[in-house]
Amino acid sequence: MDFETVMQELEALGKERSKKMYISNGAHEPLFGVATGAMKPIAKKIKKNQQLAEELYATGNYDAMYFAGIIADPKAMTESDFERWIDGAYFYMLSDYVVAVTLSESDIAQEVSDKWIASGDELKMSAGWSCYCWLLGNRKDKDFSESKISNMLDMVKSSIHDSPGRTKSAMNNFLSTVGISYLPLHEKAIETAKETGVVELKRDNKKTSFLNAYENIQKEMDRGRIGFKRKYVRC
């Protein structure tokens, strides 16, 4: 399936309701408004195709960029490729759910994420923290340095309240994910979440929301889901 055919099929799947929802979350034109589930039949036909993924991502069309993440071959992507993708990710649904997800299936995921977390750029930091969430929720605990994750928990505790909005949200998710999916630091994550407390998230044109990692961890504990790992990251 070539580029033109994919774009035509995505356009045909567009819904005005989805388009409005994506725009309310920060997307802008061009976009079609395709529900992510509706993309699966096309993805099954293509499977992985990095060249096509690059063509689609370069369009700046939100739906094409999202679909690019589904068919990308993360292990074929270099650090410079991921840097190009994060530079093109203009809002959090691209940085955290396309770029971070794709990066999490690569062999350089932690290395690149560490650089983004240290970058000072809101969406890069958000993508870096989000990538660790995808990693911790999918890979075995032994794949991570316990001291490194512990230091990251300390970083969350000391800086989350002063971080930019999207970074703040991703850091809160990281805190919850460690508490739920990374058993070696489950207890420390709980204590850190207690000390961090409620995190206020102000958003343009939307009501302020309040994030509570401690409550999130407790809910999963009550459901018996501590140690939970996803079988797959991408759909």
Are 175 and 189 in contact by the 8 Å Cβ rule? The answer is: yes
pLDDT, tens digit, for every residue of 88-120? 999 999 999 999 999 999 999 999 999 999 999
- Per-residue pLDDT, 84: 98
Q: How confident is the model over 126-147, as a mean pLDDT?
A: 98
Peptide bond preceding 30 in cis form (omega within 30 of 0) = yes
In Å, how far are 11, 28, 29, 70, 200 from 19, measured between CA atoms? 11, 9, 9, 19, 28
Is residue 235 over pLDDT 60? no
d(CA 204, CA 154): 29
Q: In this structure, what token pair is assigned to residue 149?
A: 């994750």
Please report which confidence band the pLDDT of residue 189 belongs to, taking 50, 70 and 90 as the band edges: very high
Residue the block writes with tokens 């000072």: 120
d(CA 184, CA 178): 9
Is residue 232 over pLDDT 90? no
Q: What is the percent of the chain with per-residue pLDDT over 70, rounded to a whole number? A: 100
pLDDT, tens digit, for every residue of 11-60? 999 999 999 999 999 999 999 999 999 999 999 999 999 999 999 999 99
d(CA 214, CA 193): 5
Please report which confidence band the pLDDT of residue 214 belongs to, taking 50, 70 and 90 as the band edges: very high
Q: In this structure, what token pair is assigned to residue 65?
A: 């960029």
Please report which confidence band the pLDDT of residue 128 belongs to, taking 50, 70 and 90 as the band edges: very high
Query: Of 197, 153, 144, which is closest to residue 171 (Cα–Cα)?
Result: 153
- Per-residue pLDDT, 203: 81
